Amino acid sequence: MAFGGCAIGIKLVTGDSNQTELLFGGTFGFFVPFGLVTLLVLSWVRFIEKRPLATLGLMRAGALFSYARGFLLGLIFMGVVVGVMALGGGVSVQTDSTQPSGYAALGSVLIMLAAFIVQAGAEEVHVRGWFMQVLGARYRPWIVVLVTSVVFSAMHWAPNPVAVVNLFLFGLFLALYCLRTGDIWGICGWHAAWNWAMGNIFGLVVSGREQSGVLFDLQTTGNPLLTGGKYGPEGSLISTIVFLVGIAVVVMCRRKQGNL
């Protein structure tokens, strides 16, 4: 919703549809619109709702450590998904690709890291930062977790039944992780690492989109149920299992602390 509002705003200001498409396409499609979404939400909270940004889960204390831990976990999760696919013969190295890879693509890979940091941060500030906190002021935590997970899934709607389930589990895991840590830094890092590793480290399709500039130019082969097919690993049953395991671990950790 906020993303679409930014697009409409740019079109109204410039009066040029081509200019809007330029800003929202390619790498700019990460930095410009998602940066504007973040700025919009932060400004709304600070100046309209008149509350500190810490209420969004953006506390200063321990922010770097929380982000780094989440980022590392995101890399591990995606590494597990790709590793299991490789063991089952569902991943192979592309031999006919014309895009840069390896050392030659390092610059593009690092730029996309920054792009995914902005994109993931915007989505988490919007959904798990602002929207989840607004709902949490009125409803029980389990309702908030379910609603935000459904909304997140709808925001990334895909013509793939497994991907739809996985997007819901994706949102469910991040919502529970957020409640577990008490901030959104960790899920911002996890989300960015998951997307970046999938698209620019392993060269796989991210939510149906191919990425340019990869370290390892891989492609999925075999049964789409296990590889995600054209949608990428997020449409894979392997990702389903990984998310379910992640959710179980987060829930058990909260039970040990008596906070669930």
Q: What is the pLDDT along the chain (260 residues), one digit of tens a residue?
A: 444 444 434 443 444 444 444 444 556 678 888 998 899 999 999 999 999 999 999 999 999 999 999 999 999 999 999 999 999 888 888 777 667 788 888 999 999 999 999 999 999 999 999 999 899 989 998 999 999 999 999 988 888 899 999 999 999 999 999 999 999 999 999 999 999 999 999 999 998 888 778 999 898 898 999 999 989 999 999 999 999 999 999 998 855 444 43
Q: Are residues 33 and 87 in the same domain?
A: no
d(CA 66, CA 132) in angstroms, rounded, equals 19
Q: Are residues 236 and 211 in the same domain?
A: yes
Structure tokens at 139: 């409803």
The distance from CA 254 to its chain's CA centroid, rounded to whole angstroms, is 23
pLDDT tens-digit map of 28-44: 678 888 998 899 999 99
Q: Are residues 12 and 88 in the same domain?
A: no
Q: Are residues 108 and 200 in the same domain?
A: yes
Strand-pair partners of 213:
none
HSE value, Cβ hemisphere, 13 Å, CA-based, for 179: 26
Closest by CA to 67, choosing from 78, 56, 59, is 59
Distances (CA, A) of 112 to 72, 79, 117, 195: 17, 18, 8, 10
- Domain range enclosing 157: 60-257
Q: Are residues 7 and 129 in the same domain?
A: no
Q: Are residues 36 and 93 in the same domain?
A: no
pLDDT tens-digit map of 190-247: 999 999 999 999 999 998 888 778 999 898 898 999 999 989 999 999 999 999 999 9
How many structural domains is the chain composed of? 2
The distance from CA 34 to its chain's CA centroid, rounded to whole angstroms, is 12
Q: Are residues 124 and 26 in the same domain?
A: no
Q: Are residues 2 and 79 in the same domain?
A: no
Q: Are residues 167 and 191 in the same domain?
A: yes
